[in-house]
A and B are shown apart, each in its own frame.
Chain A
């Protein structure tokens, strides 16, 4: 697509329920990232996918969070047994490049991010 699409745009759920957030990156972008922005806080990196490589999960806050990317395109972020502190805007971004060497030193734009509009999650 022309941009990064995220759904749902808003989700209200009860504590303890599971939620799934979807991200459809720009066609041809091999790198996909999930971030979250809690109220009054800055952006926080969650997880990174590059092609068919194993994802970098180093930013996931707990084992209740998981993400997958099917076919190197659409990604789903799943939060199990949601807690109130999970309330945030979950942002997805994609970039053309792999984000890692061998493009080290190549700053021509391959790693420039395009963000989706975000999914606002409210856990009651």
Chain B
């Protein structure tokens, strides 16, 4: 079973700061998902990636397959970015699908105005 570690567990930053959240895993994967869980509990899929880098607005996700590591970056952070960010990895046999995902415990991010 894949071990997924996220760091930091908790992060408080000031509005405008550049944020980095890290995710490392122990076993080869087919894809990695970044999810955002809002304070009310709703979960939104941010990215799914298997190599390189993806960007959406102020969010950037990168993955290094060889090093088994991914990072989620937030530029020009804003209080509305406050949420729990969860990394999840898809096993190699799933073709990137979401069955059998192993989740990290999440990073609690608070952006203060």
Contact = CB atoms under 8 A, between A and B. Distances in A.
Genuine A/B complex: yes
A103 B33 contact: no
Contacts of B100: 45, 48, 56, 58-59
B28 interface: no
A71 interface: no
Contacts of A45: 99-103
Contacts of B102: 45
Interface in B2-47: 30-31, 33, 35, 41-45
Interface in A27-78: 31, 33, 35, 41-45, 48, 50, 56, 58-59
Contacts of A111: 31, 48, 90, 95-98
A118 B35 CA distance: 15
A113 B30 contact: no
B104 A42 contact: yes
Contact of A112 (B45, B50, B95): B45
Interface residues of B, number: 28
A104 B31 CA distance: 10
- Looking at chain A's contact residues, the main secondary structure is loop
A112 B48 contact: yes
B37 to A, nearest CB: 9
B105 interface: yes
B62 to A, nearest CB: 15
Given A104-B95, A107-B48, A118-B41, 18 more contacts: A35-B101, A42-B104, A44-B103, A45-B102, A59-B100, A89-B41, A93-B43, A99-B95, A99-B97, A104-B30, A107-B50, A107-B96, A111-B95, A115-B35, A115-B42, A115-B45, A117-B42, A118-B43
Interface of B: 30-31, 33, 35, 41-45, 48-50, 86, 88, 90, 94-106
